[in-house]
Amino acid sequence: MDKAILIIQCKDQKGIVSAVSAFLYAHQGNILEIDQHVDQELGMFFMRASWELESFGLAKDEIKTVFEQQVGNQFQMQFQLYFNDRKPKMALFVSKQSHCLFDILSRYYSGQFDVEIPLVISNHKDLKRVVEAFRIPFHYVPMDKENKADTEQQQIALLESHDVDFVVLARYMQILSGDFIRKYPNKIINIHHSFLPAFVGAKPYHAAYERGVKIIGATAHYVTEELDAGPIIEQDVARVRHHNTVSDLVQMGQDIEKVVLSKAIKYHLENKVYPFGNKTVIFY
């Protein structure tokens, strides 16, 4: 079914739901989902609505302008409009670890992710054969430690030439520069292998082991310039015991990492994530 998805943010005030739903009704829109959230502290209003396009009274390329005139301007809304007939383009950055990559490819293969994957970029060649079995181009871009900016230029050129919408760091293990991150604001999803904000930084499983925690976790978040501090999209945890070694923690953690990252990708793909400040509204 062809559908439109509208995501709105504005100052909280009376009449917003009424105005948006009246707009959709006036143009014969059959509402499929509608969800709203008010952040009382900030006085901000967030909304997500989706409706069927088939019977809708406005053409796809008219909707934005008409909505702005009839509703958006009045409430000073920021909004995005998406259509599900265009698949987003997702690039994967990987290194040597395979668990997140294979989990994503598995969902891509089975149709669970409604996405195009025009390329996988890696600083190691290990995962090339399996990626290509899924008929996805694999680009080996070695990390030039002396000149990281050059490496990133090559990566960005690849992303731009493939018209990539967003990037997933599937255990990429390298820190992106501020220049790279600013090109893709809230468009780079990372998986951190701890229950943030616990164990920020490198070697979180070692740190968890040293502290003697009884539960470990993983966190998918948008990448911002401050390391491991971006808006959290999804988290999950697993129970560990005293007899689990660091290596057990790594293996148990991988099961969480891959599911958490894939859930975050799915929310992002379905336009269900609204980042604001260092938080997210997730309309699921």
Which residues of this protein are in contact with its own copies, per CB under 8 A? 14-15, 17-19, 21-22, 24-25, 28-32, 34-38, 40, 97-99, 102-103, 105-107, 109-110, 112, 129-130, 132-134, 195-199, 211-215, 217, 231-237, 241-243, 245, 251, 254-255, 259, 262, 277-282
The least distance separating its own copies from the CB of residue 49, rounded to whole angstroms, comes to 9
d(CA 146, CA 96): 21
Cβ neighbours, 10 Å, residue 72:
21
d(CA 115, CA 269): 7
The least distance separating its own copies from the CB of residue 182, rounded to whole angstroms, comes to 21
d(CA 7, CA 9): 7
Residue whose CB is less far from its own copies, 132 or 144: 132
Question: What is the SS3 assignment for 126?
Answer: coil
Mark whether 179 is an active-site residue. Answer: no
Query: Which residue shows structure tokens 């989902």?
Result: 33
Q: Which helix (H) or strand (E) holds 215?
A: strand 215-222
Residue whose CB is less far from its own copies, 79 or 276: 276
Distances (CA, A) of 90 to 48, 150, 186: 22, 22, 13
The least distance separating its own copies from the CB of residue 151, rounded to whole angstroms, comes to 25
The least distance separating its own copies from the CB of residue 150, rounded to whole angstroms, comes to 31
The catalytic position among 228, 236, 248, 255 is 228
The least distance separating its own copies from the CB of residue 181, rounded to whole angstroms, comes to 19
Residue whose CB is less far from its own copies, 45 or 180: 45
Residue whose CB is less far from its own copies, 70 or 106: 106
The answer to whether the CB of 48 falls within 8 A of the CB of 5 is yes
Question: What is the SS3 assignment for 153?
Answer: helix
Residue whose CB is less far from its own copies, 175 or 246: 246
Q: Which amino acid is at 249?
A: L
d(CA 154, CA 150): 6
Distances (CA, A) of 187 to 21, 149, 190: 29, 20, 10
Which sequence positions are flagged as catalytic? 228
